[in-house]
């Protein structure tokens, strides 16, 4: 994948079996939905991309402006993760589709979007996972590269903390604590391997307090928000007729966000992520702290017999893509 500012490679030699190959989509797939904040109808297309190109967003309404999905292109984290290129062309709410691409093991893809934000769909990553399954996946000739955490890195935003520690696989440990008694305090842990993302996190929806929705609407935001694409939480319960998909859906969604935000590293970050009341701001600050210390991380490859990197989500490659 893309190098982080010229950092030297530290590639693990794997003699026992072949390295895991990079993957892209087998076909182009599309969806349409409303933008959470603009309220506009937006079309999103997922397309195959060459090996070593990473994930790139393309604004089709802005002269096909390209925006690399990278931590150092994040320009706003207040309500979502917003990326922008050097010309100032931005794309918002990228975390849910990034989480789906990460969870399904897609290394290279173009994400073409007809507006300034990714459509919110149902507020989770599940619609994007379905798109990827519909497209199918092909392996590419290049070996997959990962980013190994070599030493602990931590950031503290006062009300939020996030940390990365070395680990043999990608692990997440997250705790949230809300004054609202419906959400209250929740915590969960998950190793994001062997389809765990698709099974345990992909369907968890974004959520907001009713008071926050009213404030955002007054500020001209959340024009596309509805009970069809978010869990709305009142003082005594949730407003959605269908209830929750998981008993702890709130913390699961925050973990989903973290999966998507960390994939902005440019590759899978292999280590243990721990967050306390963390969100987009802490997640991005953590990546910036990681890459600011050349001794805290290294590029690596993994062998095909490493169970931690088994094909995720049951999406098996159909062929080796021509380069």
Which tens digits make up the pLDDT trace of 274-288? Answer: 999 999 999 999 999
287 vs 216, residue with greater confidence = 287
Average pLDDT over residues 84-105: 97
Tens digit of each residue's pLDDT (9 = 90 or more) over 186-214: 999 999 988 899 999 999 999 999 988 88
Query: Average pLDDT, stretch 12-28?
Result: 76
Burial of 278 (0-12, 13-18, 19+ CB in 10 A): buried
Calculate mean pLDDT across residues 240-248: 95
Q: Within 13 Å of residue 28, how many CA atoms lie on the same side as its CB?
A: 8
Which residue in 268, 267, 261, 266 sits closest to 286, CA to CA?
261
Class of domain 21-318: alpha beta
* pLDDT score, position 16: 44
Catalytic residues: 280
Cβ count within 10 A of residue 110: 19
Q: 94: closest CA among 272, 299, 260, 313? A: 260
pTM: predicted TM-score of the whole model, two decimal places: 0.92
Q: What is the pLDDT of residue 111?
A: 98
Task: Using alpha carbons, select from 245, 206, 211 the residue that is nearest to residue 224.
Answer: 206
Whole-number pLDDT of residue 307: 55
As a whole number, mean pLDDT of residues 14-39 equals 86
pLDDT per position as a tens digit, 140-174: 999 999 999 999 999 999 999 999 999 999 999 99
Tracing tokens 């000739």 back to the chain, one arrives at 141
* Helices of type H across 106-179: 126-135
d(CA 321, CA 230): 37
The answer to whether residue 218 scores a pLDDT higher than 90 is no
- Name the pLDDT band for 323 (thresholds 50, 70, 90): low
**Could you tell me if residue 128 is left (phi over 0), alpha (psi between -120 and 50 degrees) or otherwise beta?**
alpha
């Amino acid at each position: 994948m893309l190098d982080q500012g010229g950092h030297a490679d530290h590639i693990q030699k794997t003699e026992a079996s072949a390295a895991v190959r990079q993957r892209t989509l087998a076909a182009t797939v599309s969806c349409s939905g409303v933008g959470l904040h603009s309220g506009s109808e937006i079309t999103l297309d997922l397309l195959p991309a060459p090996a070593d190109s990473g994930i790139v967003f393309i604004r089709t309404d802005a002269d096909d402006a390209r925006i690399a999905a990278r931590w150092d292109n994040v320009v706003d984290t207040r309500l979502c993760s917003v990326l922008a290129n050097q010309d100032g062309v931005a794309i918002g709410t990228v975390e849910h589709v990034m989480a789906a691409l990460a969870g399904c093991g897609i290394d290279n893809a173009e994400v073409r979007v007809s507006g300034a934000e990714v459509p919110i769909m149902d507020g989770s990553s599940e619609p994007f996972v379905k798109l990827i399954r519909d497209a199918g996946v092909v392996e590419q000739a290049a070996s997959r590269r990962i980013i190994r955490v070599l030493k602990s890195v931590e950031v503290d935003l006062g009300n939020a903390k996030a940390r990365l520690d070395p680990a043999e696989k990608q692990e997440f440990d997250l705790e949230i604590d809300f004054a609202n008694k419906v959400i209250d305090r929740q915590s969960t842990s998950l190793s994001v391997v062997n389809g765990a993302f698709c099974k345990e996190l992909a369907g968890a929806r974004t959520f907001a307090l009713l008071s926050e929705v009213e404030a955002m609407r007054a500020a001209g935001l959340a024009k596309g928000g509805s009970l069809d694409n978010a869990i709305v939480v009142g003082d005594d319960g949730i407003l959605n007729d269908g209830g929750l998909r998981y008993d702890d859906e709130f913390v699961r969604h925050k973990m989903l966000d973290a999966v998507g935000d960390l994939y902005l590293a440019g590759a899978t970050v292999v280590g243990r992520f721990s967050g306390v009341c963390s969100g987009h701001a802490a997640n991005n600050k953590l990546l910036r702290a990681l890459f600011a210390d050349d001794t805290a991380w290294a590029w690596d490859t993994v062998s095909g017999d490493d169970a931690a990197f088994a094909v995720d989500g049951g999406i098996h490659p159909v062929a080796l893509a021509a380069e």
